[in-house]
Amino acid sequence: MTPLNAPKVVVVMPAYNAGRTLRMTYEALPKDTVSTVILVDDGSTDETLDIARELGLEIFVHNQNYGYGANQKTCYAEALRAGADVVVMVHPDYQYDPRLVPQIIEPIVQGRADVVLGSRLKNGSALAQGMPWWKYVSNRFLTWVENAAFGLRLSEYHTGYRAFRREVLETVNFRMNSDGFIFDQEIVAQVVASGFRIGEIAVPTRYFPEASSASFTASAVYGLKILGLVGRYLLHMRGFVRSLGFESLRARYTQLSTARTHAA
């Protein structure tokens, strides 16, 4: 049970066939920090839903597999509806350590960041922990590209362990993003475009058969999509091409209100 004056921390779990690892992920969560756990099932065909019901999680079910990005859209929408002050995405495949939720939300609670990423590369041990070399190299390259475009110095962008202050999810137009894996980077670009602060903490990671991991081909396609995203971001920020996805919902609302006022 969280203290009365503590922020409401909602953990969201985007799940797809996570039956083998869901229970151990949930049991490792620090219950004194987390107020609510929401699981969104994206058309699983294993025992994920049965286990989620046994654990007493709040469950939302997609009637088919819509994709990782679509899953996150439901996760964040339901977390906001549940009154979250801080939203933490924890993958139910047990690849990231759930016990680190207090550490990942700390910079947000203390007012030092609006978004915090759990970086596998910050402590330099990702390869020793089992990250494939080709994934490590591509991660480093894409992170360098994104740092150059966003004007930041983060050690990694391609992590599934993330925490958001409520205002961030209310401001960025994440519903316009892709339903696929590129969603992760689209929302980061939106966060940067909206002027929010991004922090990071080092997190260990696990690579084992039950943990989700993209193939080499899928990772290559993902990398090309990131380069395209960075290009769109730069064109938008420099005023060459307007992209609604990078405009905050509040700014868009203000523009529409102003336009209606002038029209009247």
pLDDT tens digits, 204-240: 877 655 555 566 777 788 999 999 999 999 999 999 9
Domain count for the chain, please give it: 1
Whether 234 maps to a domain, the answer reads yes
pLDDT tens digits, 135-176: 788 889 999 999 999 999 999 999 999 999 999 999 999 999
Amino acid (one-letter) located at 66: Y
Range of the domain at 75: 9-263
pLDDT tens digits, 105-115: 999 999 999 99
Whether 1 maps to a domain, the answer reads no
Whether 121 maps to a domain, the answer reads yes
CA-to-CA distance for 125 and 122, rounded, in angstroms?
8
Mean pLDDT of all residues in 29-38: 97
CA-to-CA distance for 71 and 147, rounded, in angstroms?
27
Q: With 90 as the cut, is the pLDDT of residue 118 above it?
A: yes
Whether 249 maps to a domain, the answer reads yes
Amino acid (one-letter) located at 123: N
Q: Binning pLDDT at 50, 70 and 90, where does residue 133 land?
A: confident
Residue with the bigger pLDDT between 243 and 73: it is 73
Q: Which string of DSSP letters, residue by residue, matches 66-92?
A: --HHHHHHHHHHHHHHTT-SEEEE--T
Q: Please list, in sequence order, all residues whose beta carbon lies within 8 angstroms of the beta carbon of residue 75, skipping any fewer than 6 positions away.
A: 12, 13, 14, 38, 40, 87, 89
Q: Please list, in sequence order, all residues whose beta carbon lies within 8 angstroms of the beta carbon of residue 114, skipping any fewer than 6 positions away.
A: 108, 164, 165, 167, 168, 191, 196, 197, 198
Helical residues (DSSP H) of 122-215, grouped into ranges: 133-150, 166-171, 183-193
How many other C-beta atoms can be found within 10 angstroms of the C-beta atom of residue 190? Answer: 24
Whether 100 maps to a domain, the answer reads yes
Whether 4 maps to a domain, the answer reads no
- List the structure tokens of 225: 């999509």
Whether 165 maps to a domain, the answer reads yes
C-alpha distances out from residue 185 to 30, 43, 109, 162, Å: 27, 23, 23, 12
- List the structure tokens of 104: 């990942």
Whether 2 maps to a domain, the answer reads no
Least trusted range by pLDDT, from 2-6, 49-53, 179-183, 251-255:
251-255
Q: What is the CA radius of gyration of the chain?
A: 18
CATH of the domain at 101: 3.90.550.10
